Amino acid sequence: MKPNKAHLALFLVVLVLLSGMVAVWVHGAASRLADLQSSAKGPGTAVASASDKGYCTGALKQILRRVLTSCGLITGGSQRGCQPVQARSVAAMSGDDFNALFVPLADRAAIIQFDQDSAELDSGAIALLDKTFAAQRGASYFLVVSRASTEGALSYNRELSRKRAEAVLDHIRSKFSDPDLDQEVGLLWLGAEYAQLDKEFCQWQRSRPDEACTTAHLNRSAFIAWIDCRL
């Protein structure tokens, strides 16, 4: 082999080796950076200590992420939430499909019921709310989805369901000393125009178990549940 060709071949071999070493170094650096970023995330970050339970379907996690970040997360001491029109956009699915997402949560969810035209928590509602909120069991997010029955005007029912969601939140604030509350609670109020509950949900834990369960009674309510999903 002529000297020039030998030198060229040696140069190419060295170049290949150096390229491989650089690639390995870059990959290692990227991995270390990812580890550092992961360890630096605080307790309020969405991927904190949550773990995927059996009910954490892809669709439920997508809805939860949208609710918490788009309209339901409480931050900086200010209350936010989604109205029915916004809720449809956030959910991006039919009301029946939206409700079906929560069926696997039956054993850890509760339905807080209200009188018609009222957002006041009675003693049964307070007892069930306290019990449900206290049973966090390591979960990261507490979802409140309030509704109204179909009596009354559209705007009235929207406002009534908003007041019901806020009544739940106000009670939690006054009852529990939870420093992470502002990063845990998501609010969604649906009025009477989206995702009405049907009689299937009569079997769920309700604050008025001895009351006749009609769809009207069922939808004068706030659905509450701790959800443990990795987002």
Q: What is the pLDDT along the chain (231 residues), one digit of tens a residue?
A: 555 555 555 555 555 554 554 444 434 434 433 443 333 333 332 333 345 567 788 888 887 777 766 665 544 444 456 666 666 776 677 888 888 888 888 989 999 999 999 999 999 999 999 999 999 988 888 999 999 999 999 999 999 999 999 999 999 999 998 888 878 888 889 999 999 999 999 999 999 999 999 999 999 999 999 988 876
**What are the residue boundaries of the structural domains of the chain, listed by start?**
1-40, 58-227
58-227 folds as 60s Ribosomal Protein L30; Chain: A; (3.30.1330)
What ranges in the chain are assigned the alpha helix state H?
A: 3-40, 58-66, 84-91, 95-100, 123-134, 154-175, 215-219
- Rounded-to-integer distance, Cα 178 and Cα 186, Å: 15
Query: What is the CB-side half-sphere exposure of residue 144 using CA atoms within 13 A?
Result: 35
CB atoms within 10 A of CB 93: 16
229, 53 contact by CB (below 8 A): yes
- Rounded-to-integer distance, Cα 166 and Cα 164, Å: 5
pLDDT score for 76: 44
CA distances from 127 to 40, 99, 123, 130 (A): 38, 24, 6, 5
- Rounded-to-integer distance, Cα 103 and Cα 141, Å: 17
Give the tokens for residue 160: 């009534």
